[in-house]
Structure 1
Amino acid sequence: MWKPEDNLISAEDLHGLLGNSQLVIADSRSDLLDRELGFRQYRESHIPNAIFVSVDEDLADPPGRRGRHPLPSKERFADFLGRSGISNESHVVVYDAGNGMFVCRLWWMLRWLGHERVSVLDGGFAAWQEAGFETATDIPVPKPTEFSIGKPLTRTVTAEEVLNHRGVLVDARAEDRFQGFNETMDHTAGHIPGAICSPFLKNIGSDGKFTRDPKKFEGVAKDSDVICYCGSGVTATNNILAMLVSGYDEPALYPGSWSEWIEDPSRPKVPE
């Protein structure tokens, strides 16, 4: 039975799985300002047999009124998974550079399609390197398979549902962006009224690994109805994973997040 703690895996445990026929390793390194950086890093060095998954190309539709990283259709994503060699029997392990900024988007999207056996490499590629494990430069060619869409293990909400929400709304962006002092990504600064700021970087300890201390979500009761958002539905998934492994029920995701919210001038904002 899959347990919340199985959503994270150590470099040592992943190393022990190498060679397992059901294992698929996915490299999701990325950069918000340089869309090609992740693939360049992957090409230079990656975990053996890892495939590359682009946050911008593979895990999102083109930016528009639905936000900067709108979710693709489930059918399009399932087709991508099959072409990438990921089946319903696969144990997928996903990693990024180590700061947790991008890695949870793929973790969450697999759960969105009903796939439970997906783990985030705790500490990312940095933890793998620090453990002294081998790396590779060759790019594997996946064997295509079929991925069938299942019942979602996650929840999504629309902007209208956020507007009428009476639970807890958690914003994963940095405090300055939340307050509207330093907006570097979107055309309007601020946050959704009633939201609390819990930057995703608070989930990562000094060793680059997820902390499992529920105190970092102080003020959020375990039985709260929680919705997570961020700038575009990427780092909010980090908060979802962090809350899940800290003993909370899995929060819902507002996929469009702030970058969709501000596309409708009638939606309230702080500051106005």
Structure 2
Amino acid sequence: MNTTLISASELAARIDDPALVIVDCRHDLMNLAAGREGYAVGHIRNAVFADMETALSGAKTGADGQFRGRHPLPERAALIETLRAWGIDDDSQVVAYDAHGGMFAARLWWLLRWVGHPAVAVLDGGLAAWQSQALPMTADVPAPRRGAIAERAPLVATVTAGDVLANIGSGERTLIDARAPDRFRGENETIDPVGGHIPGAKNRFFKDNLQADGRFKDAAQLKAEFAPLVADPASAVMQCGSGVTACHNLLALEVAGMPGAALYPGSWSEWVADPSRPVAKGV
């Protein structure tokens, strides 16, 4: 069972395993059609496509009328139905990939763990690692096969905006923001019209988890880099702009042997929707 990362070579060797389900998670926040268009041009054989805006996210406004962020979690029942439509069973080994260093694939990795499915891994290095070995691509869409995955207890934890607000006063949890440093400091108004970060948060840009070739750094290096930020993973919370790239830091912590951190799904986009919540600037 692969529960964090899988190499391109290992995936290629297992490509015809009937228990394997491959999911293409390519996406572009500036061009929402780019992922599906890329999949149509060519993808790893047998891969199904996951749309970030519909399959991997839920309604932006909750039943209470409150804004939940740009990419709120889908309803668990809806997610289970999506996973079944992709052919995922309880014994499936799922592999997620993208073309962005795992930026979006890590979201599916986390979501599967959220519904209690541990056998999910991200393709290390993504599509670039696959293509660097001249491994085959196809435009053929696999025939649909309905799976029977069951919903189980979560293997991961979440916190609410209320929890994060309370923590500003208590300081019991360490909050890590995965956004780029300029966004964290409040210097990129194009992406974050309300700039800055949650008071007390620390910054760990998700791309810092990667080597120059787009593969994850090894466990020892990741642990050494996270240790000064996260003394106790069980009391840490990961967030970002909308709850997507925070999952990359959660995956990196798992690779580092530092499991247990929680996700704040609404993240910055939900946080600043309420002007009464405090905002900090700079470092």
Residue aligned with 1:170, SS: strand
Structure 1 Cα separation of the partners of residues 232 and 239 of structure 2: 19
TM-score, structure 1 length as denominator? Answer: 0.95
Alignment partner for residue 241 of structure 1, among 245, 248, 251? 251
Percent sequence identity over aligned pairs: 45
Q: Which residue number in structure 2 is paired with residue 160 of structure 1?
A: 162
Structure 2 Cα separation of the partners of residues 19 and 183 of structure 1: 47
Q: CA deviation at 1:255?
A: 0.2
Gaps of 5+ in 1: none
Structure 1 Cα separation of the partners of residues 160 and 190 of structure 2: 24
Structure 2 Cα separation of the partners of residues 215 and 46 of structure 1: 35
Matched, 1:9 2:11: no
Matched, 1:25 2:22: yes
Alignment partner for residue 116 of structure 1, among 115, 118, 126? 118
Please tell me the residue identity of whatever aligns with 1:235. T
Residue aligned with 2:269, SS: helix
Structure 2 Cα separation of the partners of residues 63 and 140 of structure 1: 31
> How do 1:57-68 residues align onto structure 2 when only pairs under 5 Å count?
57-64=54-61, 65-68=67-70
> Does the Cα contact within 8 Å between 2:174 and 2:230 map onto a contact in 1?
no
Residue aligned with 1:76, SS: helix
> Does the Cα contact within 8 Å between 2:271 and 2:277 map onto a contact in 1?
yes
Alignment partner for residue 199 of structure 1, among 200, 205, 214? 205
Q: Which residue number in structure 2 is paired with residue 175 of structure 1?
A: 181
Residues 248/267 of structure 1: CA separation in 2 closer, same or farther (3 Å cut):
same
Deviations 1:58-90 (A, max 9, x none): 011243410000111100100111111111111
Q: CA deviation at 1:195?
A: 0.3
> Does the Cα contact within 8 Å between 2:102 and 2:123 map onto a contact in 1?
no
Alignment partner for residue 96 of structure 1, among 95, 98, 106? 98
- Number of residue pairs aligned between Structure 1 and Structure 2: 269
Residues 229/37 of structure 1: CA separation in 2 closer, same or farther (3 Å cut):
same
Please tell me the residue identity of whatever aligns with 1:229. Q
Structure 2 Cα separation of the partners of residues 251 and 51 of structure 1: 29
Please tell me the residue identity of whatever aligns with 2:47. A
Structure 1 Cα separation of the partners of residues 32 and 147 of structure 2: 28
> Does the Cα contact within 8 Å between 2:183 and 2:192 map onto a contact in 1?
no
Larger deviation: 149-158 or 211-220?
211-220
Alignment partner for residue 84 of structure 1, among 86, 97, 106? 86
Which runs of structure 1 show a deviation greater than 3 angstroms over 4 or more consecutive aligned residues? none
Task: Please report the RMSD computed on the Cα atoms of aligned residues, expressed in angstroms.
Answer: 1.5
> Does the Cα contact within 8 Å between 1:222 and 1:247 map onto a contact in 2?
no
Larger deviation: 126-135 or 207-216?
207-216
Residue aligned with 1:164, SS: helix
Please tell me the residue identity of whatever aligns with 2:17. N
